[in-house]
Amino acid sequence: MTRRRAASVLRWLWLGGVIVAVTFPVYVTVVTAVLPPTDVAAGRLVPVPDRLTLANVRAALGSAPLAQQYLVSVAVTALQSAAQLTTAALAAYALVFPRWRGRGAVFALVLATLAFPGESLVIPNFELVSGLGLRDTVLGIVIPYLAAGYAVFLLRQAFLALPRETWEAARMDGCGDLRALLYVVLPMARPQLVTAAMWCALSAWNGYFWPLLITDSPQRRTIQVGLAQLVVDQVTAPAVIYAGTLLVLLPTLLLVLFGQRFLVRGLASRVTT
């Protein structure tokens, strides 16, 4: 009994340490972003919100076109996530339910795309987007990422865990492939679909290198690129940098908080090979 209690205490201490390690940087970012510059200059290890101000946020928005870049990031995230979910759902459906020769080899090719670093495709992607005349545009940022191998893998594993008999019954009732996907398969795989959507959205929101390369004007760049420029411009004003970081961090925090129920269910679901 004593050993069990000691093990339980150690587990809780370990869990508490992990929570502190994860949440402490977020706390420092949020609090420092709303502290007056004089309090930030004091250099406290753990900032205490004695006085709060939005002056740092206004300064961050005024020192760089963050408002326009925010809209660009929202547009990129929405378009890229929708495209990746659409292609992933169609590909996963084709890899699971219809019986056709060679689908195992095709799935192996999909997995092989995960082994290639994105940087190795920068030059052909750049030439493609430039040849289409889409440099310095939202579409130019999105086009190379219309599909994602990991999203296909995630939804394929989710579809494999579904009862095939339900799909066969829908097909016998006259449902076509597209209707069966929309009204039968996807509703049953909703937690995994939300998990894939969150992964696609976070990946699109946090993109940096490609948006920096394919855009020229500051107003057409994403918020991640704008934050890097803010760090350069406001190197002597750390509170303004923290405010810009908070603006970038806030959507991801809200996305995880509102989608955590589906995220846990999606990650804890049974994986079938």
Of 121-135, 198-212, 259-273, least confident by mean pLDDT is: 259-273
**To which residue do tokens 């990746």 refer?**
84
Neighbours of 216 (CB within 10 A): 9
Q: In this predicted structure, what is the pLDDT of residue 257?
A: 77
| Percentage of residues in the chain having pLDDT higher than 90 | 21
Question: CA of 32: how far to CAs of 25, 42, 233, 251, in Å?
Answer: 10, 11, 18, 18
Report the alpha-carbon distance of residue 88 to residue 148 in Å, rounded: 7
Q: What is the pLDDT of residues 162-189, one digit of tens each?
A: 888 888 888 888 888 888 888 889 988 8
What confidence score (pLDDT) does residue 227 get? 85
Amino acid identity, position 165: E
Alpha carbons within 13 A on the beta-carbon side of 203: 22
Contact 36, 53 (CB under 8 A): yes
d(CA 166, CA 261): 25
* Category of 237 on φ-ψ map: left (φ > 0), alpha (ψ -120 to 50) or beta: beta
Q: What are the boundaries of each domain within the chain? A: 1-52, 54-268
pLDDT for 146-159, tens place per residue?
A: 999 899 999 998 89
| Residue 273 pLDDT class (50, 70, 90 cuts) | very low
To 5 degrees, how large is the angle CA 44–CA 46–CA 47?
70
Task: Judge whether residue 259 has pLDDT over 80.
Answer: no
pLDDT at 25: 82
Determine the pLDDT at residue 142: 94
Length of the chain, in residues = 273
Q: What is the pLDDT of residue 38?
A: 66
Q: What residue has token string 């795989």?
A: 189
> Are the C-beta atoms of residues 200 and 82 closer than 8 Å to each other?
no
Q: Which of the 8 DSSP states describes residue 119?
A: G
Q: 137 or 259: whose pLDDT is higher?
A: 137
CB 155 within 8 A of CB 88: yes
Q: Largest Cα–Cα distance of the chain, in whole Å?
A: 72
Q: Classify each residue of 145-168 as buried b or exposed e, where b means 16 or more C-beta atoms within 10 Å of its C-beta.
A: bebbbbbbbbbbbbbbebeeeebe
Q: How confident is the model at residue 270 (pLDDT cuts 50, 70, 90)?
A: very low
Residue 267: partners with Cβ closer than 8 Å, 6 or more residues away: 195
The yes-or-no verdict on residue 48 having pLDDT over 90 is: no
Neighbour-count burial for 185-198, b at 16+ CB within 10 Å, e otherwise: bbebbebbbbbbbb
Fold of 54-268: MetI-like fold (1.10.3720)
pTM equals 0.82
Distances (CA, A) of 210 to 191, 217, 220, 261: 30, 14, 13, 32
